[in-house]
Amino acid sequence: MKLVCRVNSEDTYSVEGSELLNFFEKTQIHYSLFNIGDLRRLYKLNNFFNLSALDLYYLSLAVFFADRRKLRNKTRDAWTRSFEIYLPVLEFDKLESQRELIENTISYLSGDNWTLHFRRRELSNKEKRIKKGVERARTKWTPKFISMMSGGLDSYIGAIDLLEKESEVIFVSHYGGGKGVKDYQDLVKSNLINSYEIDDSNFFSFHMAALDGTEDSTRSRSFMFFMHALIIASQIENNVEILIPENGLISLNIPFTNSRLGSNSTRTTHPFYLSSLNNIISNLDLKITFRNPYQFKTKGLMVYECSNQTLLKSTITSTMSCSHPDQGRYQGISKPIHCGTCLPCIIRRASILKGYGTDPTEYLDSNFTGDKASFTLRSLKTGILDFENSKDFAFLKISNSGNLNGYQKLYTNTYTEGMTEVKYLLDQYAG
């Protein structure tokens, strides 16, 4: 797939045989970063966006748009696709110097082949108006951290742990078309506002959707999500750390079986991906770092060690971990609900069981009674059996998903402890 992107309506660049993405038209793509409500918040930060960060932001929108547009099941192996993105950029020389690294990083994240073609552009009229708005704003704020907030259990624990020691924080959320995502993000936000000395101004919630996209795997979503945080961080004068709270087991992206139960999950915080992303950002002279503070902790340990147990235990059902929370509609359930059998649900259930012994979360099928759920249970048990039989070589398995750049022992321990949590849960069910 070839995709030509245009930021300005005056741009006439074209490539034969390509699709066209006009960022200034809402018939193809919707993103809320430049909406009035979001701009008022952005104006309170120190500076206009770093131009390289703005380039990466538009690139992430283009990548996500293309990802949604091309179906994996139409390819030869029903998975790997090839993309060419033609993007106008403000910092051509800098982006071009990092082009190969950016291509490889996105390719690793999505499992596809990406080729990027940059060309020069100037600030659009809208961007110029935003720049003036930032420069005119009198109230300025310099937060110390930015933390990603999905509405899930991991990011909720991350927010609690952070707010127990620091209030100068920006939380960044994104919601697309998924049912219930925004509702759970709002629940989490409300819990945090009621429990800590923060208010609505600490939360930035963005919407982005490819309006005609039908591919559901969307592995590139995290790149787009992260770039929303990056562009905010680029407005802050001090060095900024962007925290991505995710448990170490899911972060390693290790398939549970030879089926794609594991490989279908994203590589959002895999150490290799974060390392590559940080290299790109550093090489573009941005003083910003992405970090997963729970890289060496299982989800169960995150629950058990959360620094405000009273708050977490009483509000844990305010979080959504399921990969398809709208599945209940087939059974006449209108509200979003955890399915109980997808991999994120399994790891959630195992973690709450470890942390609290009982789980108050409502699940659609907690006992694996459905045909698909029964198959999933058998597959997971096969994966657990494989894990048990190959514990001594666990370090080899975790290395297969990407270069770990050291810390082999810590990653191996996290993997074995996480799998042991899952095993304890699954051992309670026959299958």
* pLDDT tens string 140-168: 899 999 999 999 999 999 999 999 999 99
pLDDT tens for each residue of 199-217? 999 999 999 998 887 898 8
Of 175-179, 309-313, 414-418, which gets the smallest average pLDDT? 175-179
Q: What is the mean pLDDT of the chain?
A: 92
Of 38-42, 108-112, 152-156, 188-192, which gets the smallest average pLDDT? 38-42
- Phi, psi at residue 91, to the nearest 5°? -110, 70
The amino acid present at 319, given as its one-letter code, is: T
What is the per-residue pLDDT for 306? Answer: 98
Percent of the chain predicted with pLDDT > 70: 97
Mean pLDDT of 124-134: 93
Of 53-57, 146-150, 326-330, 395-399, which gets the smallest average pLDDT? 326-330
Instruction: Please give the Cα distance from 237 to 128 (Å, whole number).
Output: 20
Of 170-174, 253-257, 353-357, which gets the smallest average pLDDT? 253-257
What is the per-residue pLDDT for 385? Answer: 93
Q: CA 328 → CA 180, 320, 322, 324, distances in Å?
A: 12, 14, 12, 9
Of 16-25, 63-72, 250-259, 396-405, which gets the smallest average pLDDT? 250-259
Give the residue among 65, 93, 51 at the shortest CA–CA distance from 2: 65
Answer positive or negative: Cα dihedral of 381, 414, 145, 130: negative
What is the per-residue pLDDT for 68? Answer: 92
Mean pLDDT of 175-199: 90
Instruction: Please give the Cα distance from 314 to 337 (Å, whole number).
Output: 18
Instruction: Please give the Cα distance from 92 to 90 (Å, whole number).
Output: 6
As given in the structure block, the two tokens for residue 244 are 């991505």
> Residue 234's pLDDT band (boundaries 50, 70, 90)?
very high
> Residue 265's pLDDT band (boundaries 50, 70, 90)?
low
Instruction: Please give the Cα distance from 336 to 265 (Å, whole number).
Output: 20
- pTM to 2 decimal places: 0.95
> Residue 261's pLDDT band (boundaries 50, 70, 90)?
very low
Task: Answer yes or no: are the C-beta atoms of 58 and 23 closer than 8 Å.
Answer: yes
> Residue 258's pLDDT band (boundaries 50, 70, 90)?
low
Q: Rounded to an integer, what is the distance from CA 124 to the centroid of its chain?
A: 28
Higher pLDDT, 395 or 426: 426
pLDDT over threshold 90, residue 178: no
Instruction: Please give the Cα distance from 244 to 300 (Å, whole number).
Output: 17
- Rg over CA atoms, the chain: 22
What is the per-residue pLDDT for 260? Answer: 46
Higher pLDDT, 323 or 188: 188
- SS3 of residue 331 by DSSP: helix
Give the residue among 252, 285, 230, 281 at the shortest CA–CA distance from 102: 281
Task: Answer yes or no: are the C-beta atoms of 322 and 344 closer than 8 Å.
Answer: yes
> Residue 406's pLDDT band (boundaries 50, 70, 90)?
confident
What is the per-residue pLDDT for 323? Answer: 86
pLDDT over threshold 70, residue 324: yes
Q: How many CB atoms lie within 10 A of CB 183?
A: 16
> Residue 264's pLDDT band (boundaries 50, 70, 90)?
low
256-285 burial: b if 16+ Cβ within 10 Å, else e: bbeeebbbbbbbbbbbbbbebbbebbeebe
Mean pLDDT of 62-67: 96
Q: How buried is 16 (Cβ within 10 angstroms: 0-12 exposed, 13-18 middle, 19+ buried)?
A: exposed
Instruction: Please give the Cα distance from 337 to 361 (Å, whole number).
Output: 9
What is the per-residue pLDDT for 266? Answer: 72
Give residues with Cβ within 8 angstroms of 76, minimum separation 6.
none
> Residue 262's pLDDT band (boundaries 50, 70, 90)?
very low
As given in the structure block, the two tokens for residue 111 are 């499992």
